[in-house]
Structure 1
Amino acid sequence: MDAGLFTANNVWMMLATALVFFMHTGFAFLEIGLTRQKNTINILFKNIFIITVGLLLYYAWGFNLMYPGFEDGDSGFLKFAGFGIGAPDGGMTPDYADGGYTWWTDFLFQGMFAATAATIVSGAVAERIKIGSFMIFTVIYVGLVYPIVGAWKWGGGFLDSWGFYDFAGSTLVHSVGGWAALVAIALLGARIGKFGDDGKPKAIPGHSIPMATAGVLILWLGWFGFNGGSVLSADPELTSLVLVTTCLAAAAGGVGAFFLSTVLYKNLDLTMFLNGILGGLVGITAGADLMSPNEAVVIGFIAGLIIVGGVALIDKLKLDDPVGAVTVHLICGIWGTLAVGIFGSMAGGGQFMTQLYGVLIIGAFCVVTSLIILGALKAIMGLRVSKEEEVEGLDLHEHGMDAYPDFTND
């Protein structure tokens, strides 16, 4: 391979890595914007913890658990290549990864994905989970569950051999986090005041919708690295197609959610519009490299409709998800994964069933492991803060700080 092309590939992958890292700013802004100011420090603390500890865990063993080098005769379910990330012979040359990038770039790009699953959970459990319990959950889920599931497809495991397809993680990242979020909010219960005596959901407004809007726009930008980097090279044709399908699906998702929410609720709900954009992004992520622009618009638009229906469903089930994480990442993640069997170059009944099997297997594994981890934490140390702590705010009780000391804390 030409040295210039190898360098160009690697530079693009490093840029994509930076964009994915920047997504954590978007998640942080979105989560604090849609929640109350008295819990701002708590949410930011969780997000910083996820990034720092997630990278260290991925360095210590996660990378080699996710990419263990399955061989003929292996089960394709679980294998471990050892601790640490020492580069192999040829790891810095075009002999590695077909000249798309170096070993170090590979580790860092994949490491940025690893923390995202726990970040999804952070938003769903906001304003009422004990910080200690959340940190322990993050260590186990990011350190073990995420890389094991990732190995089944991206690491060459059994789902990969079946033909299951997930280009950039509608299931392997987003629904892995979404399943854990669903289990967590079911075990935690709703925030005080979320459901009235009549059982009807009541809005608990976030303290900064402008910040939430900025968060979504940052996430949209970061998705260019999330999906575009998943081409795993700077291939001009495929990378540009992926960026186009990603962008169109996001736009269509926003319009779909805006349209349906306006028809149903007769108001122009900005938060629904924002989550529609995210739903479109999650929905296209599994097949961004397979779809035409027209198909991307359809997938995104349907994801936007799903957002409105999913939020209503979560409320009807009396589950409390302050940022809509379960609807965005789990339900739209499932939709995007199944869409690979409906649209694009791999569409067909056989592929659809393979996608469905993959969703069900990964869902079952994530639900069971989440129940074990969170159930044990609930029994041993508890998951939820006291009523007093929740009412007065987690910033005061768990951090002794105020995000906005010059303003009233309500």
Structure 2
Amino acid sequence: MNSDVTVLGAQVSLLWVVIGAALVVFMQAGFALVETGFCRAKHAAHVVSTNFAIFGLGFVAFFFVGFPLAFGGFSYGAMGLDTPVGEALIGSGNWVFAWSGGWALTGPNITPALLGFFFYMTAFMDTTATIPTGSMAERWRWNSFVMWGLFCGAIYYPVIAAWTWGGGWLAKTWATMSLGAGYVDFAGSGVVHMTGGVAALAGAMVLGPRIGKYSSDGKSLPMPGHHLPMAMLGTFILLFGWFGFNAASTLSATDVQFATVATNTAIAGAFGSVVAMLWIMRRTGKPNPAMMINGMLAGLVGVTAPCAFIAPWAAAVIGSIAAVLVIESTYFVEERLRIDDPC
């Protein structure tokens, strides 16, 4: 009887992970609408095309190379993933930097549980790959974009994931030194969003601003997006998908902590939007729909790492602080650093 219950629990958990993966994949539609709405009309087709294509580019690279590098040593019995598909490629013991095994999802240990986990992690990787499409919108060439999509899926994201969620050196550093747990990031504020954000910042700096963004004396000039309702709809789609992003990161449908995760996610997003609205009104004297969008997204990103470990009031504080930070950093980056980030 106990074994039957265990098997059923693993099967239900696997279903939970696959549903979560589908929700995260649907976030690509949200990113596409947000970024297309924030760009100018003449670039809309190009921007939405990059958001569409990045899913396939990242997926293919992650399928062949990225997933084995990142998660070749990963196992999690609660969802039926009992046996890793590979072994250490670079490093040994607690100091593993990359894994090897299961290239192109082949080998004796490829099970339904492993395939479900691959699907979920692919959705996370594609989120990382999508983030720079907003910061470099309206400027980068298609060939360069294709190279980024393949590089992110094959090398860039997998290396960071191997160090952290894959059980690599960052995940075990403090444990190795008998100082407690290693790097902890429940659903990806750092592994996914910061990793994508660093690439986005680097790309925007290398490409430089759009023509006409700055006057001859260096003053930032407004370049409003052509369709804010589209961007707002995209933000709600992202919010919806974020519940799969965060709550399904329990990797277990029998872990009722997913209710805490989902609630904290909603709280942070709501507080982020409201505080952003109030802060921009205090700063400029009028509401700014674009900043309300950014405030909600900032709250969601900020709470993604600790959402399973904090009280609801802390989620509200995190969302509020994130909203203020995103507004002030937007002004600083655009006006002081003169870095153009359209989305």
What TM-score results when the alignment is normalised by the length of structure 2? Answer: 0.88
Please identify, of 205-214 and 9-18, the stretch whose mean Cα deviation from structure 2 is larger: 9-18
**Partners of 2:312 and 2:237 in 1: CA distance:** 22
Matching residue within 58, 66, 73 for 1:54: 58
Aligned residue in 1 for 2:183: 164
Q: Which runs of 5+ in 2 are unaligned?
A: 74-86, 174-181
Once the two structures are superposed, the pairs formed by residues 207-222 of structure 1 within 5 Å of their partners are 207-222=226-241
User: Does structure 1 conserve the Cα–Cα contact (< 8 Å) formed by 2:32 and 2:47?
Assistant: yes
Aligned residue in 1 for 2:285: 266
Once the two structures are superposed, the pairs formed by residues 130-141 of structure 1 within 5 Å of their partners are 130-141=141-152
**Letter of the structure 1 residue corresponding to residue 313 of structure 2:** N
- Is 1:85 the counterpart of 2:135 in the alignment? no
**Letter of the structure 1 residue corresponding to residue 338 of structure 2:** K
- Is 1:232 the counterpart of 2:248 in the alignment? no
State the shift of 1:136 in Å: 1.0
Q: Residues 277-311 of structure 1: CA distance to partner in whole angstroms, max 9, x if unpaired?
A: 00000000111100110111111110011111110
Q: Identity percentage over the alignment?
A: 36
Please identify, of 158-167 and 231-240, the stretch whose mean Cα deviation from structure 2 is larger: 231-240
Aligned residue in 1 for 2:121: 110
- What SS does the corresponding residue of 1:79 show, helix, strand or coil? strand
**Letter of the structure 1 residue corresponding to residue 224 of structure 2:** P
**Partners of 2:304 and 2:102 in 1: CA distance:** 30
Aligned residue in 1 for 2:83: none
User: Does structure 2 conserve the Cα–Cα contact (< 8 Å) formed by 1:87 and 1:104?
Assistant: no
State the shift of 1:74 in Å: 5.9
State the shift of 1:11 in Å: 1.7
State the shift of 1:37 in Å: 1.3
- What SS does the corresponding residue of 1:229 show, helix, strand or coil? helix
- Paired residues, what number? 314
Once the two structures are superposed, the pairs formed by residues 277-356 of structure 1 within 5 Å of their partners are 277-315=296-334, 316-323=336-343
User: Does structure 2 conserve the Cα–Cα contact (< 8 Å) formed by 1:276 and 1:307?
Assistant: yes
**Partners of 2:172 and 2:108 in 1: CA distance:** 25
State the shift of 1:245 in Å: 0.5
User: Does structure 1 conserve the Cα–Cα contact (< 8 Å) formed by 2:9 and 2:254?
Assistant: no
State the shift of 1:55 in Å: 1.1
- Relative distance call for 1:90 and 1:33 in structure 2 (3 A) is closer
Aligned residue in 1 for 2:67: 63
- What SS does the corresponding residue of 1:38 show, helix, strand or coil? helix
Q: CA RMSD in A?
A: 1.5
Once the two structures are superposed, the pairs formed by residues 354-393 of structure 1 within 5 Å of their partners are none
State the shift of 1:142 in Å: 2.4
**Partners of 1:23 and 1:89 in 2: CA distance:** 30
State the shift of 1:7 in Å: 2.8
Aligned residue in 2 for 1:192: 211
Q: Residues 111-154 of structure 1: CA distance to partner in whole angstroms, max 9, x if unpaired?
A: 11111112100010001111111111221122101101100010
**Letter of the structure 2 residue corresponding to residue 30 of structure 1:** V
- Relative distance call for 1:87 and 1:266 in structure 2 (3 A) is farther
Q: Which runs of 5+ in 1 are unaligned?
A: 93-101, 324-410
Aligned residue in 2 for 1:250: 269
**Partners of 1:82 and 1:15 in 2: CA distance:** 23
**Partners of 1:205 and 1:39 in 2: CA distance:** 13
Aligned residue in 1 for 2:77: none
State the shift of 1:81 in Å: 2.1
**Letter of the structure 2 residue corresponding to residue 107 of structure 1:** F
User: Does structure 1 conserve the Cα–Cα contact (< 8 Å) formed by 2:235 and 2:293?
Assistant: yes
- What SS does the corresponding residue of 2:256 show, helix, strand or coil? helix
User: Does structure 2 conserve the Cα–Cα contact (< 8 Å) formed by 1:256 and 1:303?
Assistant: no
**Letter of the structure 2 residue corresponding to residue 35 of structure 1:** C
Moved segments of 4+, more than 4 Å: 87-90
**Partners of 2:194 and 2:20 in 1: CA distance:** 22
Aligned residue in 1 for 2:36: 32
Please identify, of 229-238 and 259-268, the stretch whose mean Cα deviation from structure 2 is larger: 229-238
**Partners of 1:168 and 1:297 in 2: CA distance:** 18
**Partners of 1:75 and 1:172 in 2: CA distance:** 18
Aligned residue in 2 for 1:374: none
User: Does structure 2 conserve the Cα–Cα contact (< 8 Å) formed by 1:191 and 1:320?
Assistant: yes
- Relative distance call for 1:125 and 1:90 in structure 2 (3 A) is closer
User: Does structure 1 conserve the Cα–Cα contact (< 8 Å) formed by 2:57 and 2:146?
Assistant: no
Aligned residue in 2 for 1:10: 14
State the shift of 1:90 in Å: 8.3
